[in-house]
Structure 1
Amino acid sequence: MNKIFLILCLTLLFSFSTAQAQNYSTHKVKQGETIESIAEKYLVKPSDIYGLNPDAKKELRINSVLIIPKPKAIEEPKVTVVKELEGFKKHRTKKRQTLYSLSKQYNVSEEDIKKYNKFLYAEPLRKGDKLQIPIFKITEVEEVNELTKTYTVLPKEGKWRIAYKFGITVKELEELNPEMGDVLQEGQILKVPNIGGEEEKVVDEKYSYYKVLPKEGFYRLKLKLGLEQEELETLNPVLKEGGLKVGMILKVPYSNLPDDITQHDAVKVNLVDSITDFNAKHIAIMLPFRLNHVDFDSESDIKRSVEKDPYLDASLDFHSGVLMAMDSLKTLGVSLKVDVYDTKYQLSEVKRIIAKNNFENIDAVIGPLTPGNFEEVASQLRKYNTPVVSPIGTNLKLYDNVFQSRPSNDLLKKRVVNFVKADTLASNIIVIADTQNKAVSDDLKREFNFAKQIHSRKDKEGVDKYFVSKGDIQDELKPGKNIVFLETQDAGFVSSVVSILTALIQKENIEENKEAIEIVLVTTNISSAFKGDEVDNTHLSKLQFHFATMSRAYNENDNNAFVKKYNQIYNVTPNNRAVKGFDLTMDVVLRLVSSEDLYMSVNEAPLTEYVENKFAYKKKLFGGYYNDTVYLVKYDDLAIVEVKQEVKPKPEVIEEVKQEVKLNKDKKEVKQ
């Protein structure tokens, strides 16, 4: 299979699915469940389940997945009929009339006729009998539990939102509604506490929401969330009355991790082990294939179209990764419907796609690639609260439904700066930059007050020559460890500086009275200038070249399953665009099937990682979500490896933990 085959497939079919999600859901059988209990849970008949799962008649196996038909109707509320006697109507019995025919004629029961004509208890009805037929005023009274009321589920509303709105835990909501199912449907009717409308809480998108876990008290929440008990009680007044309860939803502010805490503090979650929702998910992919520009006359013409159109080439690479992800998700038991749209790299086409298709029930949209088209989609789908994920964009307009998966350039720079700040062995810092990067050099000077700045030389006309001499650098080096920032996008300048720095590395020589000079090269912006053929990778390895990157290169020696299978199918090693298509699709779908929605997954899956990319989304106070994690890597023996920094906890945190341990120990001694 190759890109030509992919193009032909796309022209034949632009919407495909791995499972029909319209009329069915799925259920994973748990210990102790029966077909009858499952049918009751989903408001269907056992025969309906057997009809779609005939093997279940022989054996109902734990962890097997059943196809469940959607209920035809929501269970009607119980109604009590109240009859009030208003009077009587006289009737003389005619030939062949019976109590049954009279009950139908007057719409009363046979028992009511006997009740007001008592002789009929002992004698049969005869022609000429004079009867008084009761006339009732009929009223129907719906049974109402004053402690609860009904609530209609809103679009994309999950259990946690409803539980928070009515001040109960998710478990309490499930106990009130044992038949509610794992995933709520729009329009579903639930029982909720009958509190006054003014007491109902509003989910404020300016805040995050946290579900209290077992054994979590105010002290543990302080360590995890950085909030004192008083701050939590201010945001959640219910805590003052009832205290903390397992499963309750707390409102907490969005905030970034402090600068001295690295991303390694976030707990990495393997979402493959966290799948809880086996209902089919529906996503859309929007890419600028521009198939209307492809010449289909021959295979060579198609190949030429791919080579000359960078958008088509990039889209096919990304889409090949999406297809691989779909296959992997299918093996995990995840049902997925995927709609693929060709945006043609035209805003007008994007508007047409939105207008002609229903996106209200889409769980997530990946793409488009270009900022203008992406903003149009995100803006239009805000009304549905549909999350829209950007594969490559940075500095996007972060609407509240936007997920920017590519880390910002500022984050890359910040990661390198924090790495240098944490290095207590560095004795000297030097910044080498060309004219175009003078502003970056000045920013680094403000970060490191004692840093030395070296600027590339200019000619008589003031034009940058992208050149520094060996003496320029040697004069600023000191014995011990020197960290050198190199800020440029010029490959020739990189090659020249790297060669000079490598030559200036010096080992200790006691006989010649020479002290060791160690040089570590770093940059805040890894550009193609560092990756060209002009730059010697051996020199980069000797300089322990460090940089931050949004994705790390996978190690071919790891025998990665994705890389191996991709090679088998496409006869080529996947490039970074194909890997990004795989990683991003896996992350989006696994977040959907392991959390109530993509928004909740931000709290429940703080950090995920796949082949080359990792995702740790955070929310802007007034806006959407951005990926707040990058890799710090370095050249090591001609290989690029990830740098792990050990972060020691603050002394006050260590002391607080000691106090908690001592307190728990004292409690045990008292009990004994």
Structure 2
Amino acid sequence: MNKKFKKIIIGTAIASTVLTSTMTSAFANPLTHRVAAGDTLWIISQKYQVSLEEIYRLNPQYRNNTAINAGDVVKVPTKQQQTTYTVQQNDTPWIISNKFKVSLNDFLKINGLREGQHIYPGQRMLIPSTSSNTSTYTVQNNDTPWIISNKFNVSLKEFLNANGLKEGQHIYPGQTVTIPSTSGAVPPASNPTPPTSSTPSKSYITHTVKNGDNLWTLSIQYGIPFKELQNVNGLRDNHVLRIGDRLTIPVHHIPVKSTPGPQYGELLDWWTEAQYVVPIGKVFIVEDFHTGRRWSMKRTIGANHADVEPLTARDAAIMKEVWGGNYSWNRRPVIVEVDGRRLAASASAMPHDIQYINNNNFQGHSDLYFSNSTRHVDGKRDEAHQRNVLIAAGR
């Protein structure tokens, strides 16, 4: 096993089977710890009884490279009372926020997490206290942000801001969302139980066409393939939408799959699962399986597989470093971190064809494959990519 990768695994993965919810520390003014021989970031976090995320927040230089050397100085949070939770197998930020009836946005903020960032079994997460000027609501079947905002008499913008949502972003039955205080309403009682089915499921909502809508922008807004939106509504390529038309929008619910260990990703089928978890327009983290290097990307197009682009010039530079200093068609196993999940994938790093993101020093897009993704040119499997997907899945 690659020594650097092994150090990353040892430094982040914690064997834990006991659920804990206790009073422990959150940070105020940081202390400093001088690294001794044998120290890892995980050992330091355990010594001071803080989470790895708290260490990363104070020492952002270690997010992409967790290696530390004797004599280095690491900032460590000081203590104040705060409820914490130890991450269990298959936990995600969404699952934990629902378990404690807090909004996902509040949970991400208090732990310094970005949307799509992965958490590991054994990590200690801070649980935000319930705010006195907000209430929570558990999403029901067919709920949308617009329906909920109207139910509680708040503006859609206020609702989206309170929950860290973007317009058109999906919400799911069982999800806990925050209701802004201006409503003065008490949410109806319901059970915050996330979907438990082990197979993908689908429900439907209705969209009323407004000025400026077209099928392409709606397919991106709702995270579904253009052709699927056409087929569900029985429309042809030349169909013209009219204001007031009502369209059926499929909503795909993709359950979390177990993995052999925290370093591996879920093995999701591209056609029935992965393309809905990573829809066009989605921003996510890519982690190189062998080195642990991480960078941000966005899916900008692609049907048979995901066509993706690095968000910034720095992200493009990290990609180039991972591929040995040159952009390349060589395939590498990677992990895609999105919405608190880790997915097994395979990536190449050669920019080509259409480009949507400018000023990132990457002239075009690159390819990202999931299980059963195929080539655009001929619709056939790329066996090298598929072998890498299985490596990233621990198969």
TM-score, normalised with respect to structure 1: 0.19
Higher helix share: 1
Structure exhibiting the larger radius of gyration computed from Cα positions: 1
TM-score, normalised with respect to structure 2: 0.29
